[in-house]
Amino acid sequence: MGKILVTGGAGFIGSAFIRNMLDWYPDIHIVNLDKLTYAGNLDNLKSVDTKRYTFIHGDIVDAEVMEHAIKGCDAVVHFAAETHVDRSLVGAKDFLRTNVEGVYQILLSARNNDTSRVLLVSTDEVYGSRDVGSAVETDMICPRNPYSASKAGGELLGKAFYESFKLPVLITRGCNTYGPYQYPEKVLPLFITNAMEDKPLPLYKGGEHNIRDWLYVDDHCRAIDTVLRKGVPGEIYNISAGYEKENIEITRKVLELTGKDESFIQWVPDRPGHDRRYSMNSDKLRALGWKPLVSWEEGIQKTVQWYKENEWWWRKIKEGEFKKYYEEQYIKRIIT
Annotation marks residue 249 as catalytic: no
Query: Parallel, antiparallel, or unpaired for β 3-7 and 29-34?
Result: parallel
Q: Which of 17, 95, 243, 278 binds ligand DAU (CB under 6 A)?
A: 278
Contacts of 239 (CB under 8 A, 6+ apart): 172, 173, 174, 175, 215, 220, 223, 224, 280, 282, 285, 290
289 CB-near residues (< 8 Å, 6+ apart) = 226, 230
Residue 251 near ligand NAD by CB under 6 A? no
What stretches of the chain adopt beta strand conformation (E)?
A: 3-7, 29-34, 53-57, 75-78, 117-123, 169-174, 176-178, 201-205, 211-216, 236-239, 244-246, 265-269
148 binds ligand NAD (CB under 6 A): no
Catalytic residue among 34, 59, 125, 185, which?
A: 125
Q: Draw the binding track, 47-86, toward ligand DAU (x: CB under 6 A; -: no contact).
A: ------------------------------------xxx-
> Which of 80-88, 162-170, 246-254, 279-287 is the region at the interface with ligand NAD (rule: CB under 6 A)?
80-88
Does 150 contact ligand NAD by CB under 6 A?
no
Cβ count near 336 (within 10 Å): 4
Is 117 in contact with 172 (CB distance < 8 Å)? no
Indicate which residue of 59, 124, 213, 219 is catalytic: 124
Q: Is 275 a catalytic residue?
A: no
Q: What is the DSSP letter of 97?
A: I
Measured in Å, how far apart are the chain's first and last C-alpha atoms? 56
| C-beta of 125 vs 201, nearer to ligand NAD | 125
User: From ligand DAU, ligand NAD, none, which one binds at residue 14 (CB under 5 to 8 Å depending on kind)?
Assistant: ligand NAD
Should residue 186 be labelled a site residue for ligand DAU when binding is judged by CB under 6 A?
Answer: yes
Q: Which residue is nearest to ligand NAD (CB)?
A: 11
Query: Of 34, 59, 82, 147, which is the active-site residue?
Result: 147
- Distance CA(201)–CA(12), nearest Å, equals 21
Closest distance between ligand NAD and the C-beta of residue 219, in Å? 12
Instruction: Please tell me the distance from the alpha carbon of residue 72 to that of residue 77, in angstroms, as a whole number.
Output: 14
Alpha-carbon separation of residue 138 from 235, 283, 284, 285 (angstroms): 10, 13, 11, 14
Q: Which of 5, 19, 32, 34 binds ligand NAD (CB under 6 A)?
A: 34
Residue number of the CB closest to ligand DAU reads: 123
In the complex, minimum distance from the CB of residue 252 to ligand NAD, in angstroms, rounded to a whole number: 20
Which of 271, 277, 286, 302: binder of ligand DAU (CB under 6 A)? 271
- Decide: is 80 part of the binding site for ligand NAD (CB under 6 A): yes
Q: Each residue of 270-284: b (16+ CB within 10 Å) or e? A: eeeeebebbbbbbeb
3-class DSSP state for residue 315? helix
Residue 203 within binding range of ligand DAU, rule CB under 6 A: yes
> Which residues, 96 to 125, sit near ligand DAU by CB under 6 A?
123-125
Give catalytic status of residue 124 as yes or no.
yes
Binding site for ligand DAU (CB under 6 A): 83-85, 123-125, 175-176, 186-187, 190, 202-204, 207, 210, 212, 247, 271, 278
Give the catalytic positions in this structure.
Answer: 124-125, 147
